[in-house]
């Protein structure tokens, strides 16, 4: 494909993603940054490291899905990188059950895909009585079946993957629920702080670890409430190897430089540590369309 990098492609023109060609992350790259050359990586860590090392300008990283929830691995990786979030992208997911050319749905015994895709199609998988085989990504599952030439195996992947690997779509819209959507964050080495303008919507993403104090989280969140800042996401995760304190990822509707946000962060600092702002950026228009932002 012409959009894939060539040897002469400059690093700033490259956007890295996890998975094989035809993965949903590849689709997200094409739809959100069509002017950049998408480059597949074996792992999320590799995609992020390409940006850190200057081998790519951006990385497209999935963080949550409307059906299957968060992509847990990302919350473990974010504290290990110094990359900044400069934007977000919502990609509608249309899962297809795909098999080798000429294969029939009745002959399929095993379905292969990424754990998130398998979870998003769990009801339909059970209806067909299929066994599952976990793979590192959706398009990679399709690629493996193409190499194995096994007509008893199918993959859950995109129609783009079926086209790229010369496979048949055995069943479209294989996901359990309509409106299945994945949110991606776009990571860069350099923060891109937009100029604050009154009346403009902004999202700020941050990470922090609560102090081992009674009601530390409750008290830390109080500053956002008293300053009228709406919290749109709060995820907990453990990254210290102990159970003494919990870390959090948070999205709020605010610009990091507006006074209310400054006040809220000052109050948060009394009850949390290792506070790190990941980035301030303009929310995707998808949020307004779907009414998920005030």
Instruction: Among 2-6, 94-98, 232-236, name the one with the lowest average pLDDT.
Output: 2-6
Using CA atoms of 82, 135, 68, 3 in order, give the dihedral in degrees to the nearest 10: 60
Longest dimension (CA), the chain: 64
Residues 107 and 74 in one domain: no
Domain CATH number, residue 18:
3.40.190.10
Range of the domain at 246: 203-290
Structural domains in the chain (count): 3
Q: Confirm whether 81 is domain-assigned.
A: yes
Residue 140: pLDDT over 80: yes
User: What does the pLDDT look like over 26-50, one tens digit per residue?
Assistant: 999 999 999 999 999 999 999 999 9
Q: Confirm whether 27 is domain-assigned.
A: yes
In the predicted model, what is the mean pLDDT of residues 114-140?
94
Q: Pick from 25, 24, 8: which is nearest to 16 by CA? A: 25
Distance between start and end Cα atoms, the chain:
40
The residues carrying an active-site annotation are 182, 184
Look at residue 244 in the predicted model and tell me its pLDDT: 64
Q: Confirm whether 258 is domain-assigned.
A: yes
Euclidean distance between CA atoms 15 and 197, whole angstroms: 29
Q: Confirm whether 230 is domain-assigned.
A: yes
Domain CATH number, residue 221:
3.30.70.260
Task: Give the pLDDT band (50/70/90) at residue 241.
Answer: low
Q: Confirm whether 137 is domain-assigned.
A: yes
Residue 5: pLDDT over 60: no
Residues 286 and 213 in one domain: yes
Burial class (CB in 10 A: 0-12, 13-18, 19+), 265: buried
């Amino acid at each position: 494909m012409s959009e894939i990098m060539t040897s002469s492609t400059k690093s700033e023109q490259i956007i890295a993603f996890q998975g094989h060609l035809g993965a949903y992350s590849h689709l997200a790259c094409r739809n959100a940054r069509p002017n950049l050359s998408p480059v597949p990586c074996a792992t999320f860590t590799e995609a992020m490291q390409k940006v850190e090392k200057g081998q790519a300008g951006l990385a497209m990283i999935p963080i949550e899905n409307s059906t299957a929830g968060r992509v847990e691995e990302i919350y473990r990786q974010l504290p290990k990188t110094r990359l900044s979030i400069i934007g977000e992208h919502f990609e509608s997911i249309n899962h297809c059950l795909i098999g080798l050319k000429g294969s029939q749905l009745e002959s399929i015994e095993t379905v292969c895909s990424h754990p998130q895709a398998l979870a998003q199609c769990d009801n339909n998988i059970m209806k067909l009585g299929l066994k599952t085989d976990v793979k590192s990504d959706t398009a990679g599952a399709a690629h493996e079946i193409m190499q194995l030439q096994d007509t008893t195996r199918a993959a859950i992947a995109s129609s783009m993957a079926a086209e790229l690997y010369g496979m048949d779509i055995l069943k479209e819209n294989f996901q359990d629920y309509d409106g299945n959507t994945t949110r991606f964050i776009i990571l860069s080495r350099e923060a891109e702080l937009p100029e604050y303008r009154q009346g403009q919507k902004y999202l700020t993403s941050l990470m922090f670890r609560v102090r081992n104090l009674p009601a530390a989280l409750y008290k830390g969140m109080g500053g956002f409430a008293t300053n009228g800042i709406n919290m749109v996401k709060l995820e907990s995760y453990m990254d210290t190897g102990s159970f003494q304190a919990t870390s959090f990822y948070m999205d709020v509707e605010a610009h990091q430089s507006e006074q209310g946000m400054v006040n809220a962060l000052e109050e948060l600092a009394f009850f949390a540590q290792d506070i790190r702002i990941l980035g301030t950026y303009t929310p995707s228009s998808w949020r307004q369309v779907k009414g998920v932002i005030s």
